[in-house]
Amino acid sequence: MERCLDFAVSKDTIDTVTNGQMVRVSARNRCDIAFSPTDVWFEVKALSVGGLGIAGRQTGQFQTTIESRGRAETILVVPCNPARAYRFEASVWSPAGVEKNTGE
């Protein structure tokens, strides 16, 4: 899965929240296999622009299947100070207690 999915995260300015930053997370599938929403967990990290490390993180899932060579998108709130500037990163995440297959 990690070699198939490319993630992009952008700040979502449509709505504001007081306890974090709303972001739009998208995934592009580069492989010829579809991924069910229950199989794809991801983690988004808010990284301090000033180089002070991780300011917040949140995990999530997509609501739709990511078709082969397709895309999916969702919105997530990352708990961090909404008044500060961050760089956001997303990656495949494995929930606690769930093992990844060595082929993933």
7 closest CA partner among 51, 80, 59, 85: 59
59 closest CA partner among 44, 40, 77, 38: 44
Sheet with 41-48: strands ordered across: 54-61, 41-48, 86-92
Domains of the chain: 5-92 (2.60.40.10)
pLDDT of residue 18: 83
Regarding pTM above 0.85, the answer is no
The 3-class secondary structure across 44-59, one letter per residue, is EEEEECCCCCEEEEEE
Regions of the chain with pLDDT less than 50 = 97-104
